[in-house]
Chains A and B, each alone.
Chain A
């Protein structure tokens, strides 16, 4: 049986970050579905919201890994099985970007306790039946035992680089969305791509 794992970089969609004691309430007031628990994610209207710790939030277009709008070769988002909101995400890409831009504009008014965080992260998807054999070579988190149903956000090191990982996908075909600091993007792309290829998988390199 051949190895089934693929890794690709996504063309980055709109990403935003907020920090501060008032950030959660303010985002909720903006219509963002704010996760109730730390280190979990939620999805609504094509926007993925990851709560990082207690008072930091990362927002990204959820449809960015979904289809032609951002990556012509990416195919469909098979992760929809674990994400009830994702099924309609591809159609919501434009809406989501506009929504995020409005939030960014509103933040310029400097609401109390809300601090915008510039997010220029590189954005990847790693997926496939054998994805855990690849992850075991690059990260000390046991992703095979991660409970996807609680929608966890995993902040960890991957080959020496701080990453933010959102598990998705259905049973038997796990799928991980990975973001990293852009200055590490080329390295993570090449290094993880090398591991994927050496493991018999497919790698689509960095796009400019």
Chain B
């Protein structure tokens, strides 16, 4: 049983204090400096969690910030890592993934039915469409790692950018040396360490002290380098903050991760990695047991045996998998102390005691082919088994940086092969073990500093380790299985073999099918052994298989760190406050906020929108259209530029007039539209859609740079306000406010004029998206409030109402105008929305022209048609399907109830055959019912445009 030992120098706990907490409802105590896991282990709690699939009891495995056996729900927060989370007084800790609690988990029954849960059973279960919902409910009930509190309060966390010359990842012996050598060369160094304190697997205290005190080194402990991105941007996740660190050079001193031996019962509580036992012992004074068996395939196994012995822990045996164990230190010291060493032996099975933890280890002779001589089984009574059989290099971050790796047969681990400029590897990651690690770190630090412009670098060569720290195949078969490769996902050797036999026999396919490496530890303990199993199946070497793609995040990062403060860069027009005062109900439009409608006392939403529509039709209305993109193009070749980017002709546009413009992409797809006005021979002013303004401007800048025309683009979207003043009374109401002649002769339909309005310089465009006489009034943002207020005041005697986006949608729908992005999709071309009138194919060139000619030959995929809904009550929704004789024939893109027309109208994209046939069709609504509808011509309202040109001039 695990227990607390007497105090020793260097431990992290403060034995003078006590922290009381609860686990599964029972009271325990630990010390300041304990983690949740170390406190529970010290208290002798037999097991700490349940496995993901079979609900097997589990204890400490790695104690290295990726121990999926010790995930907890703490004070309502799921996925808390007990191996690194500091103990706090009053914590209420629960195991996750149990039914009825950790010690009486009813789901433990699943362990007896393991053979009915084969590898890939998720996929196999979901293969049946009929049973899909049932399986889904079942899986959701039995899986998961804790419960999310949907009422939890949001915790905004700051993000920050950091800058340094050299970033060193890992503060073990090599990382500390790298940081010091770089700092001594004059570099500003940031040194990050995921543990709570520096030192790694055992650095010289003097080295730790010097690095910690160096003025040019910023040491960040309990910090995970979670991802490496282009140009040496590294995401550093601290407990409550994410830092995006930009480093001139990076040293990866990420070390190696201990991997388990694979044998039946290797997951029993009490069986753990030797490095976990070392950390528990040194940092927290916790012994893994009273009589410990050590599985050995490297020097570190003997070192931990000696350390435990020195602290009074009994060593039952050292079971060495190798043919020849070390004849030198520390093996010789172990022998001198009388420790029993079994060579050529392997663990065949760990036996469970009555308390659920390990009570004995069955071992047997083992040959280099991985075969166990099961007839020569031998029992070793013990209460803990430590596994020290190999390591996996932490190469994921160098891989994310763009590096490559190669498999070393000599070391039985992956090593960095090539690293991108400015990145360096050091220490055990680099294949340098033992005392040479510090020298290798120093070398890498000097090279990194030189890359960052400090010092002359280093000519030192540090040789890779001559000894082999990892066994090539520490995997032992057992007819009864339960020899786990991946503890996160309960994957046994046979699961991986079965997956390979089923055809998922590459590392990437095996991962996805079996889920190996997809649990909380992200394969840190399991990937290398899974590769070994797959390599055996395929009769190749692990190095022939390759690693799965390394992607950020390397380590799970709380979502709150990624969300940061959750700023939303929302744009507002200059009269935002005026809208609010008028009762605006807001809606997002692109990245703007716009009034959807203006709420009034005694009116429902629908009534307000209808009243706004009627004000425009019968009197006058005003809408803020300042969110439209507003761009100027100046210069001798401004017209030529517009000829190229828009599908229509603009070089012949008269000064003082405007024309509709359709913008296409190279494929001939409609991407934007607007109105182009000619202000002077060499100056145009044009609008874009609200959502497309930023994208369109960027694209235009790119095209202008590409074409090199003599013109300049100016984006005044945010700097100019714009209002649409529309309705039969608008002209009369405007006259007293402006010095511009509004008569039809002086200012015809589609004209553009500049002058003053309400005392402010103003640009007026006589256009009509809503189908009434109307003027778009463009003024500087600073003049917007005064002009808006003057327009409101002027219109008030005639019953003016400000109208919002919803009313505008109804008004334009009555006119049959389509909205790009709503009535078009990512493939819609001008043929399909009957907009070829806005296209001039005779021009020498415009973007999308070539594709349009091809599309003309192909014919339309769909056609936009007007529809009238014949049901007197119900309305379909946008995106509801159009049904023709039982088949899908299209979808509704816009729909509204028109009070003006006293009917429900809409637009729909339907198949050309259906569009040409016209007549009746059906629309399937939510409950599956069919609404009758009919294809009708557009515009629905004022088809001769008389309302927009009451004077008849054009």
Contacts and interface: CB of A to CB of B under 8 A. Distances in A.
Contacts of B572: 183, 185-187
B888 interface: no
A20 B572 CA distance: 29
Contacts of A183: 571-574, 592, 626, 717-718, 781
B782 interface: yes
Interface stretch (A30-38, A70-78, A112-120): A112-120
B718 A120 contact: yes
A175 B57 CA distance: 60
Interface in B714-745: 714, 716-720
Interface in A140-175: 140, 142, 144-145, 159-161
Contacts of A191: 565, 567, 569
Contacts of B718: 120, 181-184
Contacts of A184: 569, 571, 718
A14 B160 CA distance: 34
A119 B719 contact: yes
A139 B571 contact: no
Nearest to B568: A187
A20 B632 CA distance: 13
A55 B710 CA distance: 13
B160 A182 contact: no
Contacts of A20: 634-635, 712
Given A120-B718, A120-B719, A120-B780, A137 B160 contact: yes
Nearest to B244: A140
Contact of A187 (B244, B570, B626, B719): B570
Given A20-B635, A120-B719, A120-B782, A110 B680 contact: yes
Contacts of B714: 17, 19, 115, 117-118
A195 interface: yes
Given A117-B714, A120-B781, A184-B569, A195 B719 contact: no
A12 interface: yes
Which has the most chain B C-beta neighbours within 10 Å: A119, A133, A140? A140
B54 interface: no
Contacts of B567: 159-160, 187, 191
Interface in B653-683: 680, 683
B635 to A, nearest CB: 7
A136 B162 contact: yes
Contacts of A142: 161, 163, 246
Contacts of B569: 159-161, 184, 187, 191
A20 B719 CA distance: 19
A118 B634 CA distance: 13
A95 interface: no
B158 interface: yes
A187 B64 CA distance: 42
B809 to A, nearest CB: 22
Contacts of B105: none
B780 A140 contact: no
Contacts of B573: 183
Contact of B780 (A118, A136, A187, A208): A118
A140 B246 contact: yes
A136 B161 contact: yes
Interface string A1-17: 00000000000100001
A40 interface: no
A140 B161 contact: yes
Assign chain B's interface to a size class.
Answer: 35 or more
Interface string A94-138: 000000000000000010010101111100000000000100110
A121 B719 CA distance: 7
Interface string B136-164: 00000000000000000000001111110
Contacts of B565: 191, 194-195
Contacts of A144: 163
Contacts of A160: 567, 569
Nearest to B626: A183
A191 B720 CA distance: 23
B630 to A, nearest CB: 9
Interface in B227-244: 244
B300 interface: no
Task: Tell me the interface secondary structure of chain A in the complex.
Answer: mixed
B712 A19 contact: yes
Which has the most chain A C-beta neighbours within 10 Å: B571, B577, B680, B782? B571
A120 B573 CA distance: 12
B716 A115 contact: no
B634 A115 contact: yes
A137 to B, nearest CB: 5
Nearest to A161: B569
B381 interface: no
Interface string B884-897: 00000000000000
A160 B564 CA distance: 13
Interface in A175-198: 181-187, 191, 194-195, 198
A140 B572 CA distance: 25
A161 B571 CA distance: 10
Nearest to A185: B572
B640 interface: no
Contacts of B571: 181, 183-184, 187
Which has the most chain B C-beta neighbours within 10 Å: A115, A160, A161? A115
Contacts of A195: 158, 565
B541 interface: no
A58 to B, nearest CB: 12
Contact of A145 (B163, B574, B781): B163
B578 to A, nearest CB: 11
Interface string B314-328: 000000000000000
Nearest to B574: A182
A18 B576 CA distance: 28
B249 to A, nearest CB: 15
A106 B572 CA distance: 32
A137 B159 CA distance: 6
Contacts of A208: 577
Interface in B768-809: 780-782
B625 to A, nearest CB: 13
Nearest to A145: B163
A182 B244 CA distance: 28
Contact of A136 (B160, B626, B712, B719): B160
A162 to B, nearest CB: 10
Contacts of A159: 567, 569
A159 B635 CA distance: 34
A191 to B, nearest CB: 5
Which has the most chain B C-beta neighbours within 10 Å: A17, A113, A137, A159? A137
Interface string B543-575: 000000000000000000000010111111110
Interface string B573-602: 110110000000000000010000000000
Nearest to B634: A115
B798 to A, nearest CB: 29
Nearest to A141: B161
Given A110-B680, A191-B567, A12 B719 contact: no
B63 to A, nearest CB: 34
A138 to B, nearest CB: 8
Given A118-B720, A120-B718, A182-B718, A139 B680 contact: no
Given A110-B680, A187-B567, 10 more contacts: A115-B683, A118-B719, A118-B780, A120-B720, A137-B159, A137-B160, A140-B246, A160-B567, A185-B572, A187-B570
Nearest 3 A/B pairs, CB to CB:
A183-B718, A160-B569, A181-B718
29 contacts: A20-B712, A113-B635, A115-B632, A117-B716, A118-B720, A118-B780, A119-B719, A120-B720, A120-B780, A120-B782, A133-B160, A137-B158, A139-B161, A142-B163, A142-B246, A144-B163, A159-B569, A181-B719, A182-B574, A183-B592, A183-B626, A185-B572, A187-B570, A187-B571, A187-B572, A191-B569, A194-B565, A195-B565, A208-B577
Interface of B: 158-163, 244, 246, 565, 567-574, 576-577, 592, 626, 632, 634-635, 680, 683, 712, 714, 716-720, 780-782
